[in-house]
Amino acid sequence: MIIQFPRVILVLLLLQVISSCTSSSKITYLQDVYTKKSANEKSPDYEPKLQIDDLLSIIVSADNPENTIPFNLPQIQGSSDISSSQNNIKTYLIDSHGEIDFPVIGKIKLAGLARSEANKKMAALVSEYIKNPGINLHILNFKVSVLGEVNRPESIPINSERITLLEALSKAGDLTIYGKRTNILVIREVEGVKTYGSIDITKSDFINSPFYYLAQNDVIVVHPNKTKINAAAVGPNTSVIISSISLLLTLLVLLKP
């Protein structure tokens, strides 16, 4: 015996099933990338700016390694043997004034400079003591944090000094199906002032955004989409149960002789 259902109920159930389907326009990244004239344009060079609380490794080199000993102090001072201390060179934290305290030279303001600019500034200062010095400067605590609707929310250490938003999301295991791709929040601090960017990764325009390349200590927040919010309001399994019942009832109708 086949259960009889009023037509209005059947229509509502069918609409429920249809509405539960997710449109590809809500989850596909860079949907218009092939229609943009700028799709094949070369991306501009990018270098992160040094910030307060950056931990730096600064190694000075020269034709005569002995001349660099005063500048390449080991973490634990007391030995001037280059071969034993080169792998344990002292690190420098940019203080609240944007400065480091470098051996021989003293206070040097580096915050706000790109790494290449900081290299040039350091080389100019050290050249007063060493002829044609080389400067190897790196940020040791470069990291970004990814929170919200991703598969692995975490703080991600970055070995290089250049990472894109898409790369960071990939390292966090990509967005879950409940992640809102049209409004990803990036929180960035510049010279003590927090700035905020809203990124829509379903459109290719964000490639030209200042938040496409991430800076050290950026925080990426992926908001939940409407489906996740509604599920949280009525219970995590309710929408699944309703969809399953709707599908079952629809199949019963379709199979009716």
Rounded to whole angstroms, how far apart are CA atoms 238 and 20?
A: 12
Convert the pLDDT of each residue in 206-253 to its tens digit. Answer: 888 899 999 999 999 999 988 888 777 665 556 566 667 777 767 666
103 has pLDDT over 60? yes
pLDDT at 60: 96
Structural domains of the chain sorted by starting position, each given as residue range(s) with its CATH number in brackets: 26-44+142-224 (3.10.560.10), 55-139 (3.30.1950.10)
Convert the pLDDT of each residue in 109-141 to its tens digit. Answer: 999 999 999 999 999 999 999 999 999 999 999
Mean pLDDT throughout 154-167? 91
CB 30 within 8 A of CB 206: no
193 has pLDDT over 90? no
Bigger pLDDT: 176 or 248? Answer: 176
Convert the pLDDT of each residue in 6-63 to its tens digit. Answer: 554 555 555 554 445 555 556 676 666 666 655 555 656 778 899 999 999 999 999 9
67 has pLDDT over 50? yes
pLDDT at 190: 82
83 has pLDDT over 80? no
CB 161 within 8 A of CB 114: no
Q: What are phi and psi of 137, to 5 degrees?
A: -115, 130
Structure tokens at 75: 């973490």
Torsion sign (Cα): 230, 234, 237, 242? negative
CA distances 74 to 188, 246, 254, Å, are 33, 70, 78
159 has pLDDT over 50? yes
pLDDT at 36: 62
Mean pLDDT throughout 179-184? 94
pLDDT at 80: 43
